[in-house]
Amino acid sequence: MSRKGSDFSGVSVALVTPFQDGEVDYVTLRSQVEFQIAAGTACLCPTGTTGESPTLTHEEHERVIAEVVQVSAGRIKVMAGTGSNSTAEALRLTKWAAKEGADASLMVAPYYNKPTQEGFYQHYKTVAEEVGIPLCVYNIPGRTAKNIEPETIIRLADLPNITMVKEATGSLDQASQIISATDLTVLSGDDSLTLPLLSIGGEGVISVVANIIPTDMIKLVNAFTTGETDQATQWHHQLFPLCRDMLGLATNPIPIKVAMQMLGRDSGELRLPMTQPTATQTEALAQTLQRYGLL
């Protein structure tokens, strides 16, 4: 079955937003884009959860998207995070991303205000009818406080430019229902569930750990795609402890930014209310990176 968003299959990376002395560090951001292009990553996703979008100003949010698009220069796809709990704000950001040349929009479910299922539908429908680029519905109820039910996503699939779902519910049943009932491309929103999701018809992942090990995640997805399922399983078992122990240490993006600092790729600076891990957590993270062979 040909799916609407298959051109975004493979490994996308949920980019961190680097900070230095409280300001966005655009020099480091550009180097991170180049790092992912060199690794062969399929798509970049700036200004999402991992990019600390809730604490970016409107101006910073727009500039980060613009910088990533400009540096990418058509060498890699860009799926910009443009979601909001305000439909008008999500529409404004998505129009900006489209104008700047983003290839797609990653739109998180409206958070905090807990819309009805009809509210979710009308939110996405409003943006989809106003903006021409493909939209990825980002369903992460652990962050947003409410699930977009599969029946609602099935309705949304009828809108031509809603082409993908970033599935971060942790429910393979929900993912299976969406995959079996629609032609949407489903991408994993949980690194450790990438292989299970691929096995039921998912087409890739929007990865956090690929900020530091993109080639390993690419090898997992490519192995499965080419029918080398034993090799894909081996990569899953190799990556799983890293995903579990690093990302389970503290709220994303705290662990990944500190890991990148340890590896010399980021300042590790976070914006409040995100705070640095404790000394015990930092030591545990260092041990996790050592076990994986990164330190």
Residues noted as catalytic: 138, 166
Tell me the C-alpha distance between 66 and 268, whole Å.
23
Q: 163: part of which helix (H) or strand (E)? A: strand 162-167
Report the SS3 class of residue 114: coil
Residue showing tokens 């205000």: 113
Tokens standing for residue 78: 């860009």
Residue 139 CA, chain-centre distance (Å), reads 11
**If 0-12 CB within 10 Å is exposed, 13-18 middle and 19+ buried, where does residue 238 land?**
middle
Q: Residue with structure tokens 């029946």?
A: 151
Beta bridge partners of 205: 11, 188
CA 44 to chain centre: 8
